[in-house]
Amino acid sequence: MSTYDPKQLAAWSHGHWDSQPPPRLTGVTQDSRQLTPGALYIALRGPRHDGHQFVAQAFTAGAGAVLIESAYRGACPGPALRVADTHQALWALAAGQRRTFTGRCVGITGSVGKTTVKELMAALFSAGGPVAKSPGNWNNDIGLPLSLLNADPAAWTGLFELGINHPGEMAPLAKLLQPDWALITDIGPSHIEFFPSETAIAEEKAELFRALRPRDSLACFAADSPYGELLAAAAPGPTLTIALDDTPADLQGRVAPDGQTLHITERGGATAPWACPLPLPGRHTARNLLYAVALARAGGLEPAALREALRHFKPVGPRWQVVEHQGLTLINDAYNANPLSMRAALEACAETYAAHRPCWLVLGDMLELGSHAPRAHLALGELVATGPWQGLVTVGPFARQIAAGARAGGFPADQISECATAADAGRLLRHRLPANAVALFKASRALQLETALDFITTPNP
């Protein structure tokens, strides 16, 4: 865990201590509920809360000191670093900490898969030594600076996720990170509500490449991306490409017929073709793993070490969590959803289970699609109608278009149910799922679709 010299913090933030701070501070957080003893609590102001309301609570929880705004006149029963603006100070502290980080700094963004790719990379890079990484999906204007501040200074590699949903957000995040290497996963219509086109999303993501340090930089992306030329043009130095199947790339992958193994060929032939297990089902997992393997190999890690490291990989949050309950297989993939990730999840479920189990879909709203939402949900329903599904349950107002698209595509109307909430879906499924069924749950995070599982697995929810 990172420790900090209070004098250095004051210099970075252009603040001043109003009383004698402890000799060292350990850790930084903006959440008084997550404080560890001796940490610095940062009182951030937001549209719905003001962290200054929890200053006293922070000290009760063991804070070593707090970062507050000079205008605050409330009770402060401990040492405080006073600054003009705590949000700006957070960024200044993170920038200072970034300057002290001696490991290789890797930035990761994209429309889908970035958290999974980051976690895969963390598992692979751990074969070479300590790794720092963004916790969960801490990837915005609060999460990224906190990730930098809490990064292990002894790490040989730091993996940091960057997420955006509005134009103009990537450049300042990338400038703060100053990545040595950068990776942009697949690009699609995620957050397109706030962008004029998918190309505009690609341009925004490409700001991460433009921020690469010119010396020894590396930019990784998919050779088969429709935005490959755009991304290549944004890279100031060498590029590294991946692809599945036949598209020429630096790392080319093929999924074995059993769907459980990825065969990898590296351009140049210095390493013989090799294989590694897929930690989760689906072609999208194969792509995510190829991204991670590409940079791990560029970092000098050998195939045998990478195969061993994959044995310890576990996905974060509700991403393809398989729950077995009284003969049912319930797949909780409800962390988030957009047209690309929905299609990938359906393909993975069909390939893994449909040949020998009755499969149901529980699909909810895909949010932040703006004017594209009706057509995107309708198209998803039309895709559902072509698949091997025995039942469809939709959740939320947008998802009604999934049901409409499925009916228009010929999916039997008596096998479609429309629900307003996740709880409604859970009550319905508790009585309707047939024995030995597989049910896939997927929707945007705000719907909390995973709560439907409680009504199936709990005796009296």
Consecutive H or E run containing 121: helix 114-125
Residue 315 has what pLDDT? 81
Instruction: Give the separation between CA 404 and CA 413, rounded to whole angstroms.
Output: 9
Percent of the chain whose predicted confidence (pLDDT) is above 70: 99
Say what the pLDDT of residue 269 is.
73
pLDDT 10s digits, 299-346: 999 999 999 999 888 888 788 999 999 999 999 999 999 999 999 999
Q: List, in order of start, the domains of the chain with CATH numbers.
A: 3-83 (3.40.1390.10), 101-310 (3.40.1190.10), 321-457 (3.90.190.20)
Q: What is the predicted pLDDT for the residue at 95? A: 98
DSSP secondary structure letters along 60-90: HTT-SEEEEETT--S---S-EEEES-HHHHH
Residues 6+ apart with CB under 8 A from 406: 381, 382, 384, 385, 392, 416
| Residues 226-251, mean pLDDT to the nearest whole number | 96
pTM of the predicted model as reported, rounded to 2 decimal places: 0.91
Surface-to-core class of residue 394, CB atoms within 10 Å of its CB (0-12 exposed, 13-18 middle, 19+ buried): buried
What's the pLDDT at 1?
A: 67
Q: What is the pLDDT of residues 105-120, one digit of tens each?
A: 999 999 999 999 999 9
For the chain, the distance separating the N- and C-terminal CA atoms, rounded to the nearest angstrom, is: 40
pLDDT at site 461: 61
Looking at residue 137, its pLDDT comes to 84
Question: Which residues does 130 contact at the CB level (< 8 Å), separation at least 6?
Answer: 152, 154, 155, 156
The CA distances from residue 35 to 26, 140, 159, 205, in Å, are 10, 20, 23, 33
The SS3 of residue 418 is strand
| Site of tokens 């009755």 | 358
Mean pLDDT over 415-422 rounds to 98
How much is the average pLDDT of 63-72? 97
Q: What is the mean pLDDT of the chain?
A: 95
